[in-house]
Copies of this chain bind each other. A is one copy, B any other.
Amino acid sequence: MTRETGRIEAFSDGIFSIAATLLVLDLKPPAATIPFWQGVVNQWPGYASFLLSFLLIGIMWINHHRLFSHITHSDDALMAANLLLLLGVVWIPYPTSLMAQALVTERFREAAILYNGSYLVLALLFNVLFFTCTSRGLVDKKSTGARVTGKRYLLGIVVYALCFALTWWNVPLSLAVNAGMALFFLLAPCRSEK
């Protein structure tokens, strides 16, 4: 029972792009009663969360794209595993706005736990999706690309589990590792291809 993956990708692209774009709705104009630039500067937690979450969703989209370029056909299990992953993607704007709010309250650590925890769950869901593909023969196993993708997903679990654990010890460091890994994933493949 083989079907083309085109529409699954179209639906996923829709979800990824909307989740990434909705992040901007959390940036509200500052109150008109305080000086303009001060109001803008006061919103740095919103900007920082927006930037980090946009990049993370974008990088997840790139990873999703890479995986699907190796998937030769689809079945219902793939659609179910993909749906669970998309549920995680749609969820991201919520911990993001909690982070933005928490940076100006006393509850920085709690929000970061929820934030880093959400990315840990997403890393797990990526592995569920990949395992679904390999166990049901939906990817071309001979392809090195597919093997590299699988290894990266496993690395993702390790890194996000580390971020999650770091949150109890040092919140800014945990977020820096999260952001740093995002940049590494974004830029590393570019260099290696040269």
Q: How far apart are A101's CB and chain B's nearest CB, in angstroms?
A: 5
**Cβ A58 vs Cβ B83 within 8 A:** yes
**Cβ B7 vs Cβ A13 within 8 A:** yes
Q: Verify if A55 is at the interface (C-beta below 8 Å from B).
A: yes
| Residue in B17, B98, B114 whose beta carbon sits within 8 Å of that of A15 in the complex | B17
Q: Verify if A181 is at the interface (C-beta below 8 Å from B).
A: no
In the complex, the chain B residue whose C-beta lies closest to that of A57 is B83
Q: Verify if A97 is at the interface (C-beta below 8 Å from B).
A: yes
Mark contacts of A104-131 with chain B using CB atoms, 8 A cut-off: 1 yes-contact digit, 0 otherwise: 0101001100100000000000000000
Interface residue tally for chain A (C-beta within 8 Å): 65
Q: Verify if A176 is at the interface (C-beta below 8 Å from B).
A: no
Q: Verify if A16 is at the interface (C-beta below 8 Å from B).
A: yes
Which residues of B have CB within 8 Å of A76? 62, 189-190, 193
Mark contacts of A11-31 with chain B using CB atoms, 8 A cut-off: 1 yes-contact digit, 0 otherwise: 101111111111111011100
Q: How far apart are A85's CB and chain B's nearest CB, in angstroms?
A: 11
In the complex, the chain B residue whose C-beta lies closest to that of A186 is B80
Task: Give A contacts to B, CB under 8 Å.
Answer: 1, 3, 7-11, 13-25, 27-29, 32, 36-37, 40, 50-51, 54-55, 58-59, 61-62, 65, 68-69, 75-77, 79-80, 83, 86-87, 90-91, 93-94, 97-98, 101-102, 105, 107, 110-111, 114, 145, 186-187, 189-190, 193
Beyond the given pairs A9-B10, A25-B93, A58-B86, 16 more chain A to chain B contacts, judged by CB atoms under 8 angstroms and listed by A's residue number, are A7-B65, A7-B68, A10-B13, A11-B17, A11-B65, A14-B21, A15-B21, A19-B21, A20-B90, A24-B93, A27-B94, A36-B107, A54-B87, A62-B79, A62-B83, A80-B186
